[in-house]
Amino acid sequence: MLPSYLKKPIPKQQNIKKIRRIIGSALNTVCESARCPNLGECFARSTLTFMILGDTCTRSCAFCAVKKGTPDSPDPGEARKIAEAVQKLNLTYVVITSVTRDDLPDGGAEHFVKVIQGLRDMGKGIRIEVLIPDFTGKPLQKIIKARPYVINHNLETVPRLYPVVRPPAPAPYGAGQADYQRSLGIIHSIKETAPSIYTKSGLMVGLGETRDEVEKSLLDLSEVNCDLVTIGQYLPPSKSNLPVERYVPPEEFEEYKLSGSRLGLKVSAGPFIRSSYHAGEML
């Protein structure tokens, strides 16, 4: 049974329908695809996170509700459609994420760049945050050269739990396995190449990690000069996903904030914190 602090009202369908009317059926949001518990709140505020490169992921992460399998070819008109939706929503801070595309030569990096450029071409000074996959070591520099305001790449969990939480992708994408050190290296590379770009990462808790392991991951992030960190309670989006091991009390999240602060990190932590939750307000 969920503790009282983890109960949220059911999203109002009119808010979801309103956003759908505005952005159209051809665009995806991670809010819907990942079954985010904050969907109702965010859609009511006309905020959302666009999910590009389709709705099907080549990875098989056990915590995620996004559809898995063989993706379709990227939509060449997606950048234009997102720019049009952003204009209709009158957004000044835009968050773009994607499914992981191990089937593409550059993991979809060039497609990210086109979306970023499409928003820049609007000429409205929009701040852009991208939440990127690891591209299995492929051209991260393409993203850095596009100079979004924030580049976010999530660790998701502590190293010990990677084999369970982030197992190898199924054939033919078996080489696309998440790697903790590679993900830290992405944050490090961004800061080494473009120190003015804000770096961000996120962790889920309640999957069986210890507090010491979370603290160690915060230390690891500080050592690669990460700026922003989100920590939230893992909640299974469906019965087929990993079960929750523990409901983390609110006071423990507060302790993680203090630990991060001591390390020079700006940490947003709480039961319902997610990677893009109130993203524009973190800075």
Instruction: Express each pLDDT in 38-50 by its tens digit.
Output: 988 898 888 899 9
Looking at the structure of the chain, the number of domains it has is 1
Is 73 inside a domain boundary? Answer: yes
Residue 95 belongs to what domain range? 9-281
Take residue 75 and report the two structure tokens written for it.
Answer: 């939509």
Question: Which CATH number covers residue 76?
Answer: 3.20.20.70
Give the closest residue to 211 by CA, choosing from 250, 256, 242.
Answer: 256
Other CB atoms within a 10 A radius of the CB of residue 73 amount to 9
Cis preceding linkage at 195, omega within 30: no
Which pLDDT does position 182 carry in this prediction? 94
Is 1 inside a domain boundary? Answer: no
In this predicted structure, which of 23-37, 171-185, 223-237 has the lowest mean pLDDT? 171-185
Which pLDDT does position 15 carry in this prediction? 77
Taking the C-alpha atoms of residue 179 and residue 38, their distance in angstroms, rounded to an integer, is: 28
Q: Which residue has the higher pLDDT, 124 or 138?
A: 124
8 A C-beta contact, residue 161 and residue 112: no
Give the closest residue to 86 by CA, choosing from 145, 16, 27, 162.
Answer: 27
pTM of the model: 0.95
Taking the C-alpha atoms of residue 23 and residue 55, their distance in angstroms, rounded to an integer, is: 15
Instruction: Express each pLDDT in 212-263 by its tens digit.
Output: 999 999 999 999 999 999 999 999 999 999 999 999 999 999 999 999 999 9
